[in-house]
Structure 1
Amino acid sequence: MEQRTFPTPSPGTTVPAAEPARVAPHVPPRTLRARRRRPAVIAMAVAMVAAGGLGGAVLYNSTGQRIAVLALARDVPAGQAIAAEDLVVARIASDPALRPLDATDRSRTIGLRASRDLKRGGLLLKADVTGDSLVEAGQTVAGVAVKRTQLPATRLTPGTRVLVVSTPDNGPNGTVRTPETLTVKVVAVGKVDTDGSQVVDVALPLADGPKLAAWVAGGKIQIILAPRTDGAAATAPTPAPSGSAG
């Protein structure tokens, strides 16, 4: 057996005290730590599921309250009859401040006239359409073929009152013939042809129909906007004696 000798400390020498043994910290097993965290994870998961369910319920309720209404698929000028191609069905959230026409009113809306200029993408309201006829009792409809230079720069729309002015040539010996005027209401505006002409349908008293037809045949006419008097359409000026027109 091996023997070891240690030097004997001399008198007066302090012998260092032995350090106390260090106790290692107790580390719980991994399975125990996982068990301690699991309730918190479960609680968080439950809260997330509950929040998701609440959001889904709100989304479902908001979707369930949407209603089908009529909207404009394209621009419709004031006075023009509404066609099936002008309408689309839109689904919007129910709002008491909005009163658009219901989608079930589609068939009853087609054929009605726009009471104002309607823009594509807007909702169609009850006040936007009217069933009033442009042709009154005792009136007839005549087509007036004109070129661009015979029309005002302002776009004509159905329901607009205009004056059709006869501009005859001067009579013999340079006699100036007084122009005659008829006040009419625009019923429809045709498309511009390749030669720049177009036909404007107008409503006027039946008795004035032959006169207007003669003016149109001669081609000496001009269409101008009727003046307004206190917001009402102007009445037809008194025509010149029939003998003054050629």
Structure 2
Amino acid sequence: MVLGVLLVLSTVVVFWQTDLRVNANQSYLSVARPVPAGQVIADADLRVVRVANASGLALVPADQRSQVVGRTTATPLAAGSLLTSEQVGPAAWPPSGEAVIALPVKPGRAPVGLAPGARVIVLVVPPPTAGQPVPPPDNNAAPSGTSGVQRAIATLVSAEAGEDQVDSQLVTLLLAADAAEAIASATGDVSLVHLGPEG
């Protein structure tokens, strides 16, 4: 009985080591630099990495590099991420019912270190008129249709250094299409509030 258990264990160990050696030699494509959705993939956008265990992932093998270069991205590609087959093809960005907008954010009006994928509340505060206080924010989930602070929940796509002011940012946001139109057309200063994960 002991010999049988040892035989089973030795078989498992040999299989595991063999599987690791095989998988460790498998090369896949990774994203070398950010690539927007709908853009043609260039050879410089890709690099080859080794993945120890890619089971269950739809990764693109390195030997298919020539089949990927020249095609378009279906979604934005983040630098350092592994390329999957679903990310290559006709543009599917932004998703149906959603829109992407870009907004300038002045220094001090967004938390430091916001990373792509962060959920944020977007507030657009209109400039005060002479002799009148700044109106309070609208607490509804959707942007208000009346004068006042416009509010919406969005996902941060990217944040780049702004050109108008030191430490300002130009943020790209993904949000509901109707909210995007209201926020993009609002006049005033933009502020971002970082939300925790949903759940």
Where does structure 1 lack aligned partners over 5 or more consecutive residues? 1-61, 231-246
* SS at 1:155 equivalent: coil
The whole-number CA distance in structure 2 between the counterparts of 1:183 and 1:89 is: 37
Alpha-carbon RMSD? 4.2
Amino acid at match of 1:219: G
Aligned partner of 1:58 in structure 2 is: none
Matched, 1:213 2:184: yes
What SS class does the counterpart of residue 229 from structure 1 fall into? coil
**Partner Cα distance (2:183, 2:158) in 1:** 17
Question: 1:224 — aligned with what?
Answer: 193
The match for 1:163 among 121, 128, 132 is 121
Residue 135 of structure 1: how far off its partner (Å)? 2.0
Q: Distance in 1 between matches of 2:169 and 2:109?
A: 10
Query: 1:171 Cα shift?
Result: 6.6
Note the residue ranges of structure 2 that are not aligned, 5 or more in a row.
1-20, 138-148
The partner residue of 2:94 within 131, 135, 157 is 135
* Distance in 2 (alpha carbons) for counterparts of 1:205 and 1:71: 30
**Count of residues paired in the alignment:** 151
TM-superposed deviation, 1:118: 3.0
C-alpha displacement of 1:144: 0.5
Structure 1 residue 153: Cα displacement: 0.4
Equivalent residue number for residue 110 of structure 2: 151
Task: Give the CA deviation at 1:103.
Answer: 1.2
Shift of the alpha carbon at 1:162? Answer: 1.4
Separation in 2, partners of 1:101, 1:205: 31
Q: How do 1:41-80 and structure 2 match up within 5 A?
A: 69-71=28-30, 73=32
- Structure 1, residues 154-213: CA drift from partner, whole Å, max 9, x if none? 2331x3321111234557765551123211223343444373333222223332334212
**Map of 1:32-111 to 2, 5 A cutoff?**
69-71=28-30, 73=32, 84=42, 85-89=44-48, 97-99=52-54, 101-106=60-65, 107=68, 111=73
Mark the CA change 1:174 to 1:138 in structure 2 (over 3 Å): closer, same or farther: same
After TM superposition, the score normalised by the length of structure 1 is 0.45
Shift of 1:220: 1.8
The 1:202–1:169 alpha-carbon spacing in structure 2 relative to 1, beyond 3 Å, is: same
With over 3 angstroms needed to count, the CA separation of the structure-2 counterparts of 1:227 and 1:220, relative to structure 1, is: same
Q: Please state how far the C-alpha of 1:73 moved relative to its aligned partner.
A: 4.5
Aligned equivalent of 2:171: 200
| Distance in structure 2 (CA, Å) of the matches to 1:162 and 1:133 | 23
Cα separation, partners in 2 of 1:86 and 1:194, compared to 1, 3 Å: farther
Letter in 2 for 1:150: R
Q: Which structure's residues are more often helix, by fraction?
A: 1
Paired residues of 1:184 and 1:203 also in contact (CA < 8 A)? yes
Alignment check: 8 A CA contact 1:162 1:184 kept: yes
Whichever of the two has the greater Rg, that structure is: 1
Q: Which one has more relative contact order, counting CA pairs under 8 Å at least 6 apart?
A: 2
Q: TM-score, normalised by structure 2?
A: 0.53
